Structure 1
């Protein structure tokens, strides 16, 4: 058996032990769900607006450019049209976040309101498990986030 010279052996060992990096790192979606607060304070209750607004999803623009969100949607796993939030005229700045609250309120540059009311059936996010989905205007899935726990109030989706 032939042995390699010591310097060459060290190089071969270093190459063999080097971590293998993927050919391409997974890119962040342009619009990412960063957090879903699904167990609002005081719920379950009668669906008061303050409690409805205590549940929300936060989206982040991960790019270096502003994105026009007109026609983008946020929804949960429920296959019901009233569980789809559709953005109207709204531009999310580069690196900025927007919080979409379930209840009613006045839309701002950082907070949008789903506008739901009507008691306990007005909540969007289930308290034990659900999935949030973001689709672009053409219907392409851009990001999703799932949770399966009733022991905490929110999930970090990053």
Structure 2
């Protein structure tokens, strides 16, 4: 009897709800450059060398309107009218600039990402956790097993999306090979 109710309940789920969560699960923080190469001369050019990349790993486009990207201290960037095509990446720069395909700007005058330890968090328009990448020492939430970066401030990182396993896709943890690519270890 319980099995029938569970099956009937899942059949009653609207198609758009299942479609929304599958698209949401295909978007991830793919890379963060928090300690950019070269001297920090406290210019807008320096600020724009600090960035986070958000990638849509699915084939279908995802509307990122009202999605947010934030750091541990609550500095929050809100995507406005941005559609991320399937297989595409958008780079979210810290400094001031003109938004274009593949590059958006937070229009900040100071750095966001902490070099020693921080967490980049991506949330959808309803505030649900989509992905989270951490580096450095212990952070909020006291997550065990976070990937520690010693690659000079560029990180793919250890992901969490709040859906059971660490990435919500049964693939386990992903690690970066030092050049911003994930090595596929689980």
Larger radius of gyration between Structure 1 and Structure 2: 1
Would you tell me which structure has more strand in proportion to its own residues? Answer: 1
State whether structure 2 residue 134 is matched by structure 1 residue 146. Answer: yes
TM-score by length of 2: 0.62
Q: Report the equivalent of 2:76.
A: 84
TM-score by length of 1: 0.73
State whether structure 2 residue 4 is matched by structure 1 residue 30. Answer: no
Query: Where in structure 1 are there 5+ consecutive unaligned residues?
Result: 1-26
After TM superposition, where is structure 1 displaced by more than 6 Å over at least 4 residues in a row? none
**Aligned positions of 1:1-158 closer than 5 A:** 29-45=25-41, 47-79=42-74, 83-117=75-109, 122-148=110-136, 149=149, 152-157=152-157, 158=174
Q: How many equivalent residue pairs? A: 124
Query: Where in structure 2 are there 5+ consecutive unaligned residues?
Result: 1-21, 137-148, 158-173, 175-186
CA displacement at 1:40 relative to structure 2? 1.9
- CA-based RMSD of the aligned residues comes to 1.8
CA displacement at 1:156 relative to structure 2? 1.5
